[in-house]
Amino acid sequence: MNIKLLVDGGAMKPGPALSQKLGPAGVPINKVIEQVNLATASFKGMQVPVEIEVDISKKTFEVQVFSPPVSGLLKKEAGIAKGSGLQKKTKVGNLSIEQIISVAKAKMENLLCNDLKSAVKTVAGSCVSLGLLIENLHPVEIERLIEEGKFDKEIKEARTVTPPEKIKELKEFFDKVKDEQDKKLKVEAKQKEEAEAASVASAPAAAATAKTASTKTPEKAAAKTPAKAPAKAPAKSAKK
């Protein structure tokens, strides 16, 4: 019996779905959870695909752990819990090409790429939807540079360790980007508040104007209605 799960790295907990599958097989659930958490400890904070192969006749099991999706590995590299919801306006991190190479190597088999260079380019493209910069640039620009051979040396040597001085430079650049983003967001928030306040303030005046208009309408209608002429008395018949 094969059970496929997506678990929190190093933090799997018992649940009814797992109990229903393992209970009848006579496999101790606590031992399964313990082994899964041990096997996924290095992926803490990420969703990890796991397969549990159960031998019902022997009441034994084996745990196979697969690497998290590219997005999960990128978020781990960037030290963020989630990507940006506004990719065009808000950036949430600044990765080095070495970090991109590291993720590409880890996911090489799953990406179905012919070589590491194409895998690196694919991983760089995944940074767009997360709102991540690479080497201080937009991922699309990095994809172009990869294609042109800008990072051929790093890719050929399969560098996965970012030099400390580069880490510092990337952080300093991103701190400036984040500061600018925060300023723009504050301005937009203030403009929104002012617009809402103006809308609330104008509401009573608009209501009063509408009320006045509705009150005057009958009077105007009455004024325009012509008065009826008094009925004429019937003419007296002439005396004979």
Burial 174-209 (b: 16+ CB within 10 A, else e): beeeeeebeeeeeeeeeeeeeeeeeeeeeeeeeeee
What would the DSSP string read from start to end of 11-50? -----HHHHHHHTTTT--HHHHHHHHHHHTGGGTTSEEEE
pLDDT in tens, 135-194: 999 999 999 999 999 999 999 999 999 999 999 999 999 999 999 999 988 888 888 888
- Give me the percent of the chain exceeding a pLDDT of 90: 38
Domain residue spans of the chain = 2-65, 70-185
Q: Angle of helix 139-148 relative to helix 116-130, nearest 10 degrees?
A: 170
Q: Which of the pair, 205 or 31, is modelled with greater confidence? A: 31
Please determine, for residue 42, whether its predicted confidence score (pLDDT) is greater than 50: yes
Distances (CA, A) of 60 to 2, 24, 52, 104: 12, 13, 10, 34
**pTM for the model:** 0.69
Q: What is the predicted pLDDT for the residue at 214?
A: 64
Q: What is the predicted pLDDT for the residue at 143?
A: 96
Four-way CATH pick for 70-185: 1.20.120.1630, 1.10.10.250, 3.50.50.100, 3.40.50.300: 1.10.10.250
Task: Specify whether the CB–CB gap between 162 and 101 falls below 8 A.
Answer: no
Domain 2-65 part of CATH 3.30.70.20:
no
pLDDT in tens, 57-102: 888 888 888 888 899 899 999 999 888 888 788 899 999 999 999 9
Q: What is the predicted pLDDT for the residue at 209?
A: 67
Task: Give the count of beta carbons closer than 10 Å to the beta carbon of residue 131.
Answer: 21
Q: What is the predicted pLDDT for the residue at 240?
A: 42
